[in-house]
């Protein structure tokens, strides 16, 4: 398959130099707004042609969710592979991020946490794993705008086995605190200044700066911005770029290195089902932030 043939949201790329290969994960159900099937994976050598899809996760009987299988992020941690992914719980109809585990990058992955590790009673999504300077795991996630109006990005410590959260979540910032998002107009919530937070991803730059990519909306068009921790710690305080990094109806991005060492941003675009496709853009680190090297994708 070619890149333009792959329907995917929330793309996440793992580069394996020893194999000369990229592994592409993401929200792969044809209708991610409905009943969930699982997560699939694609593999390729040039970010243009891919083999797959290959199933890497299918829920076992009794799984806690049936709908909205979203945003799998794959991380190697202490010798095993873990996926942090969002699911809509059946018992309370709230979104939450759970942890899956597998013995190989290609899976299969099975439920590792007892359910969502995000707070009980919160509607949360898009958890991402961050390992701090002491080697301790955190999850950074979104407290959804539909519950709080002004979407939040929060952080919580995880147990070292990644099975549960430990302690109370810390509020890092709200969407309206950044200069680039505008209120999201929704027919479900008319007359409100809703601000969206989506898809945080943390990246330690070569300069030592701790950056966060996250998505929101500009004039109801999906976009991606960058924030930077003033302290270099996950707890911030977080300072925000005034202008979005990507404004062309795409977002939920992450950064990865190509096989030849270039820094690459991937997003899905456009932000409309079933037309979402993975999109790859070369970026560079500059002045403690990342900058696009051009609008042309790989």
Q: Decide if pLDDT at 297 tops 70.
A: no
Residue 180 binned pLDDT confidence (cut-offs 50, 70, 90): very high
Residue 19, phi then psi, degrees to nearest 5: -100, -10
What pLDDT, on the 0 to 100 scale, is given for residue 193?
Answer: 87
What pLDDT, on the 0 to 100 scale, is given for residue 287?
Answer: 80
Residue 57 lies in a domain: yes
Q: Pick the range with the lowest mean pLDDT from 25-29, 186-190, 204-208.
A: 186-190
Residue 297 lies in a domain: no
What spatial distance separates the first Cα and last Cα of the chain, rounded to whole Å? 15
Residues in the chain: 298
Q: Decide if pLDDT at 231 tops 60.
A: yes
Tell me: cis bond preceding 75? Omega within 30 of 0 counts.
no
- Structural domain boundaries, residue 217: 3-292
- The mean predicted confidence, pLDDT, of the chain is 95
Q: Decide if pLDDT at 151 tops 60.
A: yes
Residue 132 binned pLDDT confidence (cut-offs 50, 70, 90): very high
Residue 298 lies in a domain: no
Residue 85 lies in a domain: yes
Q: Decide if pLDDT at 294 tops 80.
A: no
What pLDDT, on the 0 to 100 scale, is given for residue 40?
Answer: 98
Q: Is the dihedral of CA 249, 236, 183, 85 positive or negative?
A: positive
Q: Decide if pLDDT at 114 tops 70.
A: yes
Query: Contact at 8 Å (CB) between 13 and 26?
Result: no
Residue 169 lies in a domain: yes
Residue 227 lies in a domain: yes
Q: Angle at CA 83, nearest 5°, toward 65 and 8?
A: 80
Cα–Cα distance list, 140 to 23, 158, 224 (Å)? 23, 10, 17
Question: 3-class SS at 3?
Answer: helix
Q: Pick the range with the lowest mean pLDDT from 12-21, 138-147, 259-268, 280-289.
A: 280-289
| Mean pLDDT, rounded, for 65-84 | 97
Integer Cα distance of 134 and 255 in angstroms: 23
Query: Contact at 8 Å (CB) between 216 and 227?
Result: no
Category of 182 on φ-ψ map: left (φ > 0), alpha (ψ -120 to 50) or beta: beta
Query: Contact at 8 Å (CB) between 280 and 22?
Result: no
Residue 298 binned pLDDT confidence (cut-offs 50, 70, 90): low
What pLDDT, on the 0 to 100 scale, is given for residue 188?
Answer: 75
Residue 37 lies in a domain: yes
Closest CA to 230 of 240, 222, 238: 238
**CATH number for 26:** 2.115.10.20
Q: Structural domain tally of the chain?
A: 1
Closest CA to 234 of 163, 150, 154, 158: 154
Tell me: cis bond preceding 270? Omega within 30 of 0 counts.
yes
Q: Pick the range with the lowest mean pLDDT from 79-83, 192-196, 208-212.
A: 192-196
pLDDT (tens digit, 9 = 90+) per residue, 27-64? Answer: 999 999 999 999 999 999 999 999 999 999 999 999 99
| Mean pLDDT, rounded, for 198-214 | 96
Closest CA to 155 of 94, 233, 227: 233
Residue 265 lies in a domain: yes
Residue 168 binned pLDDT confidence (cut-offs 50, 70, 90): very high
pLDDT (tens digit, 9 = 90+) per residue, 154-167? Answer: 999 999 999 999 99
| Mean pLDDT, rounded, for 191-204 | 93
């Amino acid at each position: 398959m070619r890149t333009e043939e792959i329907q995917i949201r929330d793309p996440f790329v793992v580069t394996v130099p020893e194999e000369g290969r990229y592994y592409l994960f993401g929200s792969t159900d044809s209708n991610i707004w409905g009943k969930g099937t699982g997560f699939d994976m694609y593999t390729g050598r040039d970010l243009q042609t891919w083999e797959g899809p290959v199933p890497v996760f299918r829920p076992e009987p009794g799984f806690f969710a049936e709908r909205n299988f979203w945003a799998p992020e794959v991380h190697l941690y202490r010798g095993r592979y873990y996926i942090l992914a969002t699911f809509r719980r059946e018992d309370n109809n709230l979104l939450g991020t759970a942890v899956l585990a597998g013995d190989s990058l290609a899976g299969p992955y099975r439920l590792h946490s007892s359910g969502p590790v995000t707070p009980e009673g919160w509607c949360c999504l898009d958890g991402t794993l961050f390992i701090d300077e002491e080697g301790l795991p955190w999850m950074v996630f979104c407290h959804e705008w539909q519950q709080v109006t002004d979407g939040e990005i929060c952080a919580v410590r995880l147990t070292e086995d990644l099975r549960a959260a430990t302690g109370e979540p810390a509020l890092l910032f709200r969407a309206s605190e950044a200069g680039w998002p505008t209120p999201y107009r929704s027919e479900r919530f008319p007359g409100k200044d809703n601000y969206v937070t989506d898809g945080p991803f943390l990246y330690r730059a070569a300069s030592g700066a701790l950056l966060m990519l996250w998505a929101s909306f500009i004039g109801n068009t999906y976009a991606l911005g960058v924030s930077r921790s003033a302290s270099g710690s996950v707890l911030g305080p977080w300072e925000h770029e005034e202008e979005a990094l990507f404004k062309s109806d795409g977002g939920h991005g992450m950064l990865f290195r190509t096989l030849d060492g270039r820094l690459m941003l991937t997003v899905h675009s456009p932000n409309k089902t079933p037309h979402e496709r993975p999109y790859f853009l070369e970026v560079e680190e500059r002045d403690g932030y990342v900058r696009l090297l051009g609008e042309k994708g790989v």
